[in-house]
Amino acid sequence: MDTIGEICFMFTGIIETTGLIKNIAVSGTNRSFWIESSISSELKVDQSVSHSGVCLTVEEMNDNSHKVTAIEETALKTNVKEWKIGDVINLERSLKLDSRLDVHFVQGHVDTIAACTEINEKLGSWEYEFSFRKKFSELIIEKGSICVNGISLTAFDVKRKSFRVAIIPYTHENTNINAVQKGDLVNIEFDVVGKYILRKLSLKE
C-alpha cells in the first residue's frame, strides 16, 4: 500500500538510514519492493516509512527486510518506476509527537520528479542542479526548503524551472544522493507551507 487514499504521518527530511532493494515484483500496475536495511527488523505492519521521499506502508517483514507496494498513481508521480534491484533507498520513520524538529515538515507526498542537470564538486562539498516542470515554479523560493529523495535541503539559485542544492559530506556519504548522476530522476516535495499559502491566495481570485 502507499499514500494514495491513506493518512501518512509527518517526516523531517533527515534520513535515518539507507536500504537496499533485494527484490521487485510487478502485479498489474502495482510494484512491490523487498528492501533490506538496518531498521527493517524494528518495523511493524501498517507502519508509515519514507522511501526516498515516498511515504509507503510496511506490509511484511522477513529477517532484515521489509516489503512495501507502490500503486500506479504513485509510480506515475514519483521515480519508483526507475527503481532496480541493488538500488539504494533513503529511509526515515515517521516523526514522533515528542520528537525535535530540526528541519522542516515533510509529508512523504511527492509532488513531481526532477532531472539532475549538473553536478559540481566544491572541495569537500557538492552542488546539484535539478530541473522540474514550470507548473511548480510558484512553490519554490530562494533559500526555501525543498525535499529531494526524502532529504530536507535548502534551495538556492532558484529559477523558473530549476534550482540548486548544496550537499555536505555527511549527507553525501549517508544518503543515496551520492548515486545520483546527471540525467537521473529524483523525487521532489515542495514545502507544505507554501502550498497552503498559494491555495489561500488562489481562493481570493
C-alpha span between 39 and 56 (Å, rounded): 15
pTM: 0.89
| Band of pLDDT at residue 105, cut at 50, 70 and 90 | confident
Task: Residue 9: name the closest of 83, 145, 109, 147 by CA.
Answer: 109
pLDDT number for residue 178? 97
Contact 108, 50 (CB under 8 A): yes
Task: Residue 101: name the closest of 22, 8, 194, 9 by CA.
Answer: 9
pLDDT number for residue 107? 84
Give 146-200 pLDDT, tens digit per residue. 999 999 999 999 999 999 999 999 999 999 999 999 999 999 999 877 676 777 6
C-alpha span between 142 and 151 (Å, rounded): 17
pLDDT above 70 as % of the chain: 88
Give 37-78 pLDDT, tens digit per residue. 999 999 999 999 999 999 999 999 998 999 999 999 999 999
Strand partners, 153: 146
C-alpha span between 92 and 15 (Å, rounded): 5
pLDDT number for residue 3? 43
